[in-house]
DNA sequence: CTTCAATTGTTGAATATTCAATATTTTCAA
DNA sequence: TTGAAAATATTGAATATTCAACAATTGAAG
């Protein structure tokens, strides 16, 4: 009598993919009001500390690999949301900065994103949300 | 005095994306031993109940949209891992089945995936893992 | 019945992503 | 100081994904 294999829906990798897909879909929907993909919002948000960030740093922070980021930044430069400056201390590097136009857009996007977080808090609960965040952070930690 | 906006790393959407990326990367690495992408493993696993599944059903189950699934199934049919049968009860539908070769491959992939789950259990802990799964399931539920 | 809308799956063109190769600059050892 | 190796970012070709249009079948209202 063979033990049946666990269905795909019980695997952690699958649950993560499913939850990520759903939450991302919802966020995408909100941000589409401003015609901006989620990744661009992440980029703007990281850059909105005003410091210059190298492409490598950015790629890590926004979960994109380098060539994809380069091409997305090209578009954002065309849209004058961000700009490149060569790092004076290490001329291999390029430092990315957010423009004034980028800052304005980022604020609008932030409030759309906050809307979503609030919506999650309502339907999912305060306690579950913070507990889930805690567990995710610790999973990410333990994977390095 | 303006309140600083919460950094991207505190958003649930971001934490999910990050955790998903990392766990998926690890799984991908294991499955690459058999040269199979994660999505194909999911497809094989869903089909391994032996029943016929329509493309629509499958697309939902494996988190791919229809055209992407069609093209991936095309490849898997070429590799004789799965095959198509027209649904006799509704001739718009196509029923997908796993082949014997597919079953053999699926078993190997399952054990690679189980390896990973065990690795996670070790470094992350039994309790955290099951609690995280529970919370993810409930988040997915509350999003429908 | 007949026709029109809805469902299901595929296709082709447009778009996006990835891999490997490249160019540039820096680091560091000899 | 020089030359080789490492780090950083970009490019172009190959690959994959997505969007919109299509074809086929079914459902359902008149």
A71-118 pLDDT, tens per residue?
A: 999 999 999 999 999 999 999 999 999 999 999 999 999 999 999 999
- Picking from A32, A58, A30, the residue whose alpha carbon sits closest to that of residue A43 is A58
Structural Rg of chain A based on CA atoms:
19
**CB < 8 Å to A61, chain B:** 8
Which nucleotides in chain D have some atom under 7 angstroms from a protein Cβ?
A: 7-12, 16-20, 24-27
A123 contact residues in B (CB cutoff 8 A): 142-143
pLDDT reported for residue A4: 57
User: Which residue segments constitute the domains of chain A, with CATH numbers given?
Assistant: 11-142 (1.10.10.10)
- CA-based nearest distance A127→chain B, Å: 11
The owner of tokens 């690679």 is B112
- Pick out chain B residues at pLDDT < 50: 2-3
- The strand pairing partners of A98, in sequence order, are A82
Q: At A3, is the pLDDT very low, low, confident or very high (cuts 50, 70, 90)?
A: very low
User: Predicted confidence band at A143 (pLDDT cuts at 50, 70, 90)?
Assistant: confident
Q: Which residues pair with B98 in a beta bridge?
A: B82
Question: Would the pLDDT of A63 be above 60?
Answer: yes
Between the CA of B69 and the C1' of C7, what is the distance in angstroms? 18
Q: Judge: B110–A22 Cβ closer than 8 Å, yes or no.
A: no
Q: How large is the average pLDDT for residues A61-68?
A: 97
CA-based radius of gyration for chain B: 19
Q: Is the ipTM of this complex over 0.85?
A: yes
Q: A5: pLDDT confidence band, cut at 50, 70 and 90?
A: confident
What gap in Å lies between CA B30 and CA A70, rounded to an integer?
A: 29
Distance A136 CA to C13 C1' (A): 40
Of chain A, the percentage scoring pLDDT greater than 70 comes to 97
- Give the tens place of pLDDT for each residue, B12-54: 999 999 999 999 999 999 999 999 999 999 999 999 999 999 9
Which of B20, B113, B138 is closest, CB to CB, to A20? B20
């Amino acid at each position: 009598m063979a033990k049946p294999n666990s269905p795909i829906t019980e695997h952690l990798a699958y649950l993560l993919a499913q939850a990520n897909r759903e939450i991302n879909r919802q966020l995408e929907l909100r941000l589409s009001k401003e015609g901006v993909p989620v990744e661009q919002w992440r980029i703007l948000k990281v850059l909105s500390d005003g410091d210059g960030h190298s492409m490598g740093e950015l790629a890590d922070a926004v979960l994109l690999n380098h060539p994809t980021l380069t091409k997305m930044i090209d578009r954002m430069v065309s849209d004058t949301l961000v700009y490149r400056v060569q790092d004076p201390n290490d001329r291999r590097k390029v430092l990315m900065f957010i423009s004034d136009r980028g800052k304005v857009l980022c604020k609008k996007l932030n409030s759309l994103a906050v809307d979503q977080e609030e919506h999650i808090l309502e339907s999912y609960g305060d306690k579950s949300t913070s507990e889930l965040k805690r567990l995710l952070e610790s999973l990410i930690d333990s994977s390095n």
